[in-house]
Amino acid sequence: MYSEIKKQMPSILEAAGEIVCSASHITDCITAKAGDANFVTEYDVNVQNFLKEKLTALCPGALFFAEEQENDPLTDAPTFLIDPIDGTTNFIRGLGQSCISVGFYVNKKPVLGYIYQPYARELFYAYAGEGAYLAKNGKTTRLSRADVPLSGSLSAFGTDPYRKSTTGAETMRVAGELLARSLDIRRTGSAALDLINVAAGRCDLLYENLLSPWDFGAGRLIVEEAGGVVMRPDGKPLPMDRPSPILAGAPSACAEFLSEIGYRLND
Ligand code: IPD
Ligand code: CA
């Protein structure tokens, strides 16, 4: 099923990655969006337009739910969830820690997930029911992440930066708990990268107060197909049709998070 998308996606993402890696004068094309310190560049829009054009040719009639556009509510129709540059602030600052995230959903369920880190030329992908993989340097490896307790976890968290004036204190409470209860904490500045790090066993847990479906659309499938779990931090299922708080990681570490750290915000 969807064999043409599977065949073409690696080269489409590689070409989109070239737009990211060859970007110049980024600081001349930044626009502020709603919220605290939330930015978009012309490159975000260019990558999104490029992906939409290629994916429309591959899958005529498919819908798009994408970060840099106005979106209708997610429906059961085949839909691509796109974050053209996840880690936009990292991209603006030249940190080399950003990625392109494309999830493909049918009936609001994940079917395919792709996250491409263009600086490291790493392509992570998953097919529902068929596993998660990392393709790099011509070699493809199936991902199978270990279960670990919270005490043995390297824990990532996101800062919910665009609402930090209201949720920052809760973020830092959770970060403090994770620092105390796990090996150490990390903040990459890209939730999609955090999710592939969880899938690959580079990190063991991710928490963030709020992410959008385009941030986690691809990554949730990659984590789940690699043997991790993804949910809301109160243990409820992650919704795909609206922004949501997120907890992802090794099953044991996430279970301990739920019982010992918990989620204290209303959303
Ligand atoms: C953001 C990044 C960041 C996370 C934010 C996201 P963007 O996405 O994933 O790590 O903390 O919540 O919105 O804006 O760079 O695409
Ligand atoms: Ca983005």
Q: How many CA atoms lie within 13 A of 166 on its CB side?
A: 10
Confidence of residue 243 (pLDDT cuts 50, 70, 90): very high
CA 44 to centroid of ligand 2, rounded, Å? 7
3-state helix, strand, coil in the chain (%, to 5): 40, 30, 35
CA 191 to centroid of ligand 1, rounded, Å? 6
Question: What is the pLDDT at residue 27?
Answer: 86
- Give the start-end residues of each E strand in 36-168: 39-41, 63-66, 79-86, 99-106, 109-117, 122-127, 131-136, 139-142, 154-157
Confidence of residue 92 (pLDDT cuts 50, 70, 90): very high
Q: Is the pLDDT of residue 213 over 90?
A: yes
Write down how long the chain is. 267
Q: Which two tokens stand for residue 169?
A: 């204190």
Phi, psi values for residue 194, rounded to 5°: -55, -40
Mean pLDDT of 49-54: 98
Mean pLDDT of 116-128: 98
Q: Is 211 in the pocket of ligand 1 (CB under 6 A)?
A: yes
Question: What is the pLDDT at residue 35?
Answer: 82
Q: Hey, what's the torsion of the CAs at 243, 244, 250, 253, to 10 degrees?
A: 150
Pocket test for ligand 1, best of 95, 163, 196, 211 (most atoms within 8 A of CB): 211
Mean pLDDT of 15-35: 90
Between CA 178 and CA 157 the distance in angstroms is: 9
Contact between 230 and 248 (Cβ < 8 Å) = yes
Phi, psi values for residue 250, rounded to 5°: -65, 140
Q: Is the pTM of this model over 0.85?
A: yes
Mean pLDDT of 150-160: 98
Question: What is the pLDDT at residue 1?
Answer: 72
For residue 216, give the amino acid letter: F
Cα 239 to the chain's mean position, in Å? 14
Atom of ligand 1 nearest to the CA of 214: 16
